[in-house]
Structure 1
Amino acid sequence: MKADPAPLPRILVLASGQGSNLQALIDASRERDFPGQIIAVGCNRPGAFALERAGQANIESFVVDHTRFDSREAFDAQLMAEIRRRDPDVIVLAGFMRILTTDFVRAFRGRMLNVHPSLLPRYTGLNTHQRALDAGDRVHGTSVHFVTEELDGGPVIAQAEVTIEPNDTADTLAEKVQAQEHVLYPVVLRWFCEGRIQLGADGVLFDGAPLRAPLILPAS
């Protein structure tokens, strides 16, 4: 008698805005051989278009409106309760514009991924594209990393580069970087669902071996 296949890893996505990275993940998850399934989308803004994208894909969504809480800790506690109710194997931050508390991050250590619009450790925080231009950089890009207590400081798994042209502005650079995010993030999520990447005590493990430097997609 043939054994039932193992259940696919359960993916929960957190977003705050338009959800373009969410859409890239939804599109990837619809591929026949994708090794995971998106089971829910959470948002901290009731009017975010990310919720519309989830509805169009028949994915459950929920809102924890951060403006209704008196503290970051209270918001995170409610968000944590909503996440645990759905029991995901991995939490994917896709433009989720909240700084998470230490207790929240530790609760999901090794199971939370984030995408950031710079080649970390350069340019943590906001306004990364203008900062790259102001510094005279020739290459910019995006990073996918494990989330730890340090803001944008978790171990980097992979990066995608873009070439900065002389006529680039912060807006054109943002468009180029976002296009690379849409390629990179689904690839890294696939690796996670396949069990190829893990957060070890000293950094990222890739196929069981320490990852000495982030994997790089070449500049476009």
Structure 2
Amino acid sequence: MTCRVVVLLSGRGSNFQAIAEASLPIEIVAVISNRPQAAGLEYARARGLTAVALDHTQHADREAFDSLLADEVERHQPDLVVLAGYMRILSSAFIARFDGRLLNIHPSLLPMFPGLKTHERALAEGIKIHGCTVHFVTADLDHGPIVIQAAVPVRADDTPATLAARVLQQEHRIYPQAVRWYAEGRLEKKHGHVNLKDDLTSQSVFSTGT
């Protein structure tokens, strides 16, 4: 059975595009944005996908908007909800409603550097390895069970922009992989950790590129 996926985004949705263009056993049944002008919606429409704009600024508070958002997501009967550059913190009620069906990608090797400005913070700390993480979403911000990570070297001459670009290349590799594993039923959660049922060693990607 094909896995039904709803995508949430706020901007261009480059990770959504990577997932949409990969050969995956999924059906993207809706793309929803809290910003009506998000470029990701235009990309979805160009591919003939259902694109929905829900403007969060038209609602009194986060809980009211998230209740509307959750109803819209549920209307499409998803097996999986993918956050692809969705730039709002989800309410605990929303997360609980889709518990175990919410994936996010974060531009750092979690649990290092949760939150924003990850590349700036990585450079400020002088670390030598940086990267990105796909994880299940929980009420604990950027601390849900990790599905897959990719690491990139940090160069002495890196800027936040050059480091971000290199990390983004890896995001586009590992997010489709995580979605594939979920769709194929290969992810096993136990004691707060996620492993592949049939392979315990392949949940990390190491880039040797510059």
User: Does TM-score exceed 0.5, indicating one fold?
Assistant: yes
Which amino acid is 2:66 matched to?
A: D
CA drift of 1:56 comes to: 1.2
Structure 1 contact 19–94 (Cα < 8 Å) conserved: yes
CA-based RMSD of the aligned residues comes to: 1.6
- The alignment partner of 2:127 has SS state of coil
Q: What is the match of residue 10 of structure 1?
A: 4
User: Would you say the 8 A contact 1:92–1:113 is kept in 2?
Assistant: yes
C-alpha displacement at 1:36, in angstroms? 1.2
Contact 1:110/1:198 (<8 A) preserved: no
The CA deviation at 1:39 is 1.1
**Are 1:72 and 2:62 matched, yes or no?**
yes
Amino acid of the structure 2 residue aligned with 1:84: E
Query: C-alpha distance in 2, partners of 1:214/1:95?
Result: 25
Alignment of 1:1-150 (within 5 A): 7-28=1-22, 31=23, 34-150=24-140
**Where does structure 1 differ by over 2 angstroms across 4 or more consecutive aligned residues?**
198-203
Cα deviations by residue, 1:45-67 (Å, 9 ceiling, x for unpaired): 00000001101111101111110
Query: Could you say which residue in structure 1 is the equivalent of 2:173?
Result: 183
Say whether 1:169 aligns with 2:159: yes
Q: In structure 1, the residue corresponding to 2:162 is in which secondary structure?
A: helix
Q: How many residues align?
A: 208
Give identity over the alignment, percent. Answer: 46
Uncovered stretches (5+) of structure 2, i.e. residues with no partner: none
SS in structure 2 of the partner of residue 144 of structure 1: strand
Alignment partner of 1:216 is 2:204: yes
Task: List gaps (5 residues or longer) in structure 1.
Answer: 1-6
